[in-house]
A and B are shown apart, each in its own frame.
Chain A
């Protein structure tokens, strides 16, 4: 996209940033790109294949990225929410990054639907996205596109919730059993920034490390809980998972939970605190005797 490439070039020339993190063509798809020269900036692209959440490169564990210098990052709606999450959790200072917002049309996944080029459909998470165009950004490029349509993540959550409990357990237990504990979900997530993850703590070992159903259930429940009120719905965890565990649905269920209970929807405003860590005197307690 010309607008994006020109902006990236301007930022690099002015030495306002030393690297522009965006996407470039790679095979049939795209991959994250780290443009440090004008020639590299000229290769930047943005379209419905750009699923990666580039905000993940902003958290302090990515020391190799930090060494590249002050970054500009191209952010979709979900990516901007992740950047806001990092600012909120004191992992990033707003002034240390230039955010290039992009009007996100929604991302494609393989699947098939009528009326769309190739055999692609809108990602469920994009149908459910609360805000595809970022507010938290220094620049805004791109054009509005058609609204993504489809059942969305809520439909998947509802479908599962409506099943009898034993079937829900069968679904999730077998999903978790496939987990090989590669932690790709954790590594790709922008908001999993702990230097030493709870799962790596052995004294005491709250989460058993071997890929056995028992430890796997504990791992996924713990991670979902740690993301409650923080998950931005970018879907990267599910995309990265080699075992096809439907993590977006798990996280979406908790997004629904915080929305219904605490009127909280993830936004890219870093001054809005996460609901976990806050409380109201009149919070619901129907489940407490």
Chain B
């Protein structure tokens, strides 16, 4: 039998001026199922709350309706009062007779009548309310960070310093990401390796960080607090336990002509190599696609070929038979920090991304037309030219370098409508690096805008123009082509109003920033969503920038959107803070207003699974006593469900109910209208 208590608040004059609160209480007193009704001036005040608490006990109430302000104001307050009185908090609802009644009408009779009707509706709802208990989920206090670039490194260090254990998975042989390829960073012109490598070493040496380099995430299952991750540790052909990083194998390798990925194709490496001298971990990788021994094996030649690296190794660490290994890690949270790649202007583009190349710039086949990362390698002291900026074609020092901004970016026709954010800044930086090294060189920049919004950024770009003498031309370049020794640049200066035809010794393209290849497959494994460009979606563009819509999975750095280093670092720290916040509770407490499937009647059509925005619906086998599978039904994971109820509206038979907003409760509210 329902014994509902109704408490009508005057809220001083806020409600009392337009709504006769006593009359509302009086009307509800005789409503079926109401055991107690009273009004009070300020229900949320201390005495008001006491009044409610004591009334619950004195009248043995089975439910409470507080007719007052919006539940967004005080639902939590009154639910706490109910708890304190021993009544399940979900048996307490609020009737909004202030924001949605007394404040929007001025006819006292009409407003009072409406307030009475609203309160009656909530009383009918509460009669159908069921007690709900907070959901508690255990948490594994370990975090997985995917990606060992600067964002991932920052997240890993902050997490580990915060007391959590970290598993850091990086697909390349060494951590460091693109930042390790840069020569100097804007706006300070810090040496990139100098500020990065100490962090890399800290990661390697941190007692709470387990580093899996040259590894990839293979499979992810589970949910927040309880993920299980299978990591593929790719075969280096080197036994990590024995290798001491001496590099003798890389010296001994006779195949020294492999284009180096780290050098962006401008330098060569041996078949067994360490990407760069400061690599962490300092372990080589044998590139089996280029190794003579493995090439012979693939051709079917029985006799073993070469093997000079194994001969040179004093520790016997080379293992040609090594295979990929798998490890499984249990973690409570995941941070995705996989970074970016640069767009290529070539003819061949990844399928299904809507991208096309730049035929007018020669599809990447014109010599001495390079991109930003390639220039960074040329400018780097540890790069293929020892820091001398020279033309890749003939090694001569270029006397005029033309920089093109917005190659690919802001171009819906190429499939990249967004701005890549960092290019205006790094082009200004490139200008400075060039001018510092080639004092009589001329730097020309074709730009649409100069976007320099960060701290010290505008001053930096002004310096490039005013102090370093860069010539900035506002306009696009229509065509690039080779003519003898030079690259012809045909462009337009819209401010001067004149077409330009320049002879460039070297052309540098500021190509668009895109997410890494394989991001969509990874996102699918994690059940996170990507936007149409492949960038990982944040939970809310303004207020939740490092969370995703999948509980327990966070995002940091350029995999979410084009980002510079300070932002990537900030996001790494922010993601770590979110994870540490999650880990700070003994258990994960969640609101019980989640969906629950009626397995007895579920028809197993899984429409609910399809519409759930969070992947919270799984499948469960229902077996008989002999163990035979009778049917497969849907099951909602209470740790992941966010309580939207889309599943219920989609289910044809209503075999899934959203607790707190069940069909019965809503029906009661609809029926109370009359």
Contacts and interface: CB of A to CB of B under 8 A. Distances in A.
Question: Do chains A and B make direct contact within the complex (CB under 8 angstroms)?
Answer: yes
Interface of A: 60, 89-91, 193-198, 201, 203-206, 226, 273, 276-278
A206 B671 CA distance: 11
A277 B652 CA distance: 12
A273 B610 contact: yes
Contacts of B363: none
B530 to A, nearest CB: 14
A201 B603 contact: no
B295 interface: no
Contacts of B652: 194, 198, 226
Q: Which 4 A-B pairs have the closest CB atoms?
A: A204-B667, A89-B605, A194-B653, A226-B652
Contact of B603 (A193, A203, A204): A193
B204 to A, nearest CB: 44
B604 interface: yes
Contact of A277 (B610, B654, B668): B610
A60 to B, nearest CB: 7
B607 interface: yes
A241 B668 CA distance: 33
Nearest to A197: B653
Q: Which of B603, B607, B611, B667 has the most CB of A within 10 A?
A: B603
Contacts of A203: 664
Interface residues of B, number: 19
Interface string B584-627: 00000000000000000101111100110000000000000000
B667 to A, nearest CB: 4
A198 B654 contact: yes
A90 B654 contact: no
Nearest to A227: B652
Given A89-B605, A206-B663, 20 more contacts: A60-B631, A89-B606, A89-B607, A90-B604, A90-B605, A90-B606, A91-B605, A194-B601, A195-B603, A195-B653, A196-B655, A198-B653, A201-B654, A204-B668, A206-B654, A206-B667, A273-B610, A277-B607, A277-B610, A278-B610
A206 B383 CA distance: 73
B22 interface: no
Nearest to B611: A277
Contacts of A277: 607, 610-611, 650
A223 to B, nearest CB: 9
A195 B601 contact: yes
A197 B651 CA distance: 11
B604 A91 contact: yes
Contact of A91 (B603, B610, B650): B603
A226 B652 CA distance: 6
Given A90-B605, A91-B604, A204 B653 contact: no
Contacts of A196: 601, 653, 655
Given A91-B604, A194-B603, A195-B603, A201 B653 contact: yes
Contacts of A201: 653-654
Contacts of A278: 610
A197 B654 CA distance: 9
Nearest to A230: B652
Interface string B619-657: 000000000000110000000000000000010111100
A273 to B, nearest CB: 7
Interface string B339-378: 0000000000000000000000000000000000000000
Contacts of A91: 603-605
A108 B447 CA distance: 71
A266 B585 CA distance: 50
Nearest to A278: B610
B601 to A, nearest CB: 5
A204 B663 contact: yes
Contacts of B610: 273, 277-278
Interface in B389-445: none
B395 to A, nearest CB: 51
Nearest to A193: B603
Contacts of B664: 203-204
A197 B652 CA distance: 8
A170 to B, nearest CB: 26
A218 to B, nearest CB: 13
A140 to B, nearest CB: 29
Nearest to B632: A90
A91 B633 CA distance: 11
Nearest to A89: B605
10 contacts: A89-B605, A194-B653, A195-B601, A195-B653, A198-B652, A203-B664, A204-B663, A226-B652, A276-B650, A277-B610
A14 B601 CA distance: 37
Contacts of B650: 276-277
Contacts of A197: 653
A218 B104 CA distance: 35
Contacts of A194: 601, 603, 652-653
Contacts of B607: 89, 277
A50 B603 CA distance: 29
A89 B604 CA distance: 8
Nearest to A198: B653
Contacts of B606: 89-90
Contacts of B653: 194-198, 201
B654 to A, nearest CB: 6
A196 B34 CA distance: 34
A201 B654 CA distance: 9
Contacts of B605: 89-91, 193
A278 B606 CA distance: 13
A229 to B, nearest CB: 11
B185 to A, nearest CB: 37
Nearest to B631: A60
A204 B668 CA distance: 9
A215 to B, nearest CB: 15
A228 to B, nearest CB: 11
A16 to B, nearest CB: 24
A95 to B, nearest CB: 16
A173 B163 CA distance: 69
Nearest to B665: A204
A196 B667 CA distance: 19
Contacts of B631: 60
Contacts of A60: 631
A224 to B, nearest CB: 12
A247 to B, nearest CB: 17
A196 B651 CA distance: 12
Contacts of B667: 204-206
Contacts of A206: 654, 663, 667
Nearest to B667: A204
Nearest to A199: B653
